[in-house]
Amino acid sequence: MAAGIAEVALLAGFEVVVRSRTERGAADLVAQVSKSLGKRVERGKLESHVRDTALQHLTTTTTLEDLSRGSIVIESVVEDYEQKMLLLRQLDSVMPVGSIIATNTSTLSVSDLALATLQPDRVCGIHFFNPATTMPLVEVIRPATASQSTIEAALAFVAACGKDAVLVRDDPGFIVNALLFPYLNNAIKMMERGTASIDDIDTAMKGGCNFPMGPFALLDLVGLDTSLSIIETLHAASGKDADRPAESLVRLVGEGHLGRKTGRGFHTY
Ligand code: CAA
């Protein structure tokens, strides 16, 4: 997701500094962006000089302080409240006055994350979808603490990236995940009950609803760890037994089968 967001911002003409915890992580991200831009050039969708300029505007660092010239930062670390909260606190002390701190969280409370900082008025959610380079939508999440200027700047950034923004209150799952993940979780439970196979459920939802991919292919694309975390958050918010994560999802994550990124999830890649 971080590579996708960086690519979107680069193609919109922004200077992008990516901070990764390790040199290896930073190098992997540059390789991913470079490969993706290269594919666009090969397909005739991007001029090679635009790719070259975009790559010149990308720098990486392992030091948070190197982000301090930025006007907007988007954190996209693992979907874990403690880790996101600690990072936002650090960003709050590093980012200059007047800059915006955004979280790309899928379901965590943006208000709780904002209140962990000393300047919650400049914290909001900017939530991209997988694959970020292709999906047109970005949700801008407005916690009660955010100032109007923060929200306006976030909406302006999303528009500058060529994406369609929707503004949403800080409710669990926002718009898309609140509606999408109960469906994905129910697809797994349907398979567990023996109603139909993984392949047939995928085929049914593609052919029967014109969805671009079936629920299992989509879970694998999003990542099973991320999917589990989203479903757990929605379950905690509703408290309903029907929203409990499906057993196979919990098992696959426990076994380290996380979808496309590990080569195996509900499908094998
Ligand atoms: N990663 C990055 N880019 C990808 C990709 C991937 N895994 N798969 C496809 N793409 C890109 C291609 O490079 C191509 O880009 P260009 O148009 O710039 O060349 C574009 O997507 C279309 O690809 P294809 O024509 O090869 O494939 P397709 O027509 O089958 O579309 C798809 C692929 C866009 C992924 C489509 O199947 C789709 O829209 N699927 C549904 C995706 C979806 O619902 N995402 C939301 C998930 S929920 C979420 O993300 C929320 C969260 O908080 C976790």
CA distance 235 to 226: 14
Q: What is the pLDDT confidence band of residue 138, given thresholds at 50, 70 and 90?
A: very high
Q: Render pLDDT for 167-221 as a digit per residue (tens, 0 to 9).
A: 999 999 999 999 999 999 999 999 999 999 999 999 999 999 999 999 999 999 9
135 C-alpha to ligand 1 centroid (Å): 7
259 C-alpha to ligand 1 centroid (Å): 15
94 C-alpha to ligand 1 centroid (Å): 34
Q: Within 13 Å and on the Cβ side, how many CA atoms surround 86?
A: 6
256 C-alpha to ligand 1 centroid (Å): 23
30, 58 Cβ separation under 8 angstroms? yes
Q: What is the pLDDT confidence band of residue 100, given thresholds at 50, 70 and 90?
A: very high
23, 61 Cβ separation under 8 angstroms? no
Mutate to test the pocket of ligand 1, among 79, 134, 210, 269 (most ligand atoms within 8 A of CB): 134
HEC profile of the chain: CHHHHHHHHHHCCCCEEEECCCHHHHHHHHHHHHHHHHHHHHCCCCCHHHHHHHHHCEEEECCHHHHCCCCEEEECCCCCHHHHHHHHHHHHHHCCCCCEEEECCCCCCHHHHHHCCCCHHHEEEEEECCCCCCCCEEEEEECCCCCHHHHHHHHHHHHHCCCEEEEEECCCCCCHHHHHHHHHHHHHHHHHHCCCCHHHHHHHHHHHHCCCCCHHHHHHHHCHHHHHHHHHHHHHHHCCHHHCCCHHHHHHHHCCCCEHHHCECCCEC
Catalytic residue among 106, 109, 227, 229: 106
Q: What is the pLDDT confidence band of residue 163, given thresholds at 50, 70 and 90?
A: very high
Report the pLDDT value the prediction gives residue 116, as an integer from 0 to 100.
93
> What lines the ligand 1 site, CB under 6 Å?
40, 43, 45, 106, 129-131, 133-135, 177, 180, 212-213, 218, 221-222, 226
Report the pLDDT value the prediction gives residue 93, as an integer from 0 to 100.
95
Catalytic residue status for 186: no
Mean local confidence (pLDDT), 93-105: 96
Phi, psi (5° rounding) for residue 263?
Answer: 85, -10
Residues paired with 18 in a beta bridge: 60
Give every CB contact of residue 209 below 8 A, 6+ residues apart in sequence: none
Q: What is the pLDDT confidence band of residue 127, given thresholds at 50, 70 and 90?
A: very high
CA distance 253 to 269: 16
Pairing of strands 137-142, 123-128: antiparallel
Q: For ligand 1, atom 7, name the residue with the nearest CA.
A: 131
Report the pLDDT value the prediction gives residue 139, as an integer from 0 to 100.
98
Residues paired with 259 in a beta bridge: 264
Q: Render pLDDT for 218-232 as a digit per residue (tens, 0 to 9).
A: 999 999 999 999 999
Task: Give the global pTM.
Answer: 0.94
Mean local confidence (pLDDT), 6-35: 97
Q: For ligand 1, atom 38, name the residue with the nearest CA.
A: 212
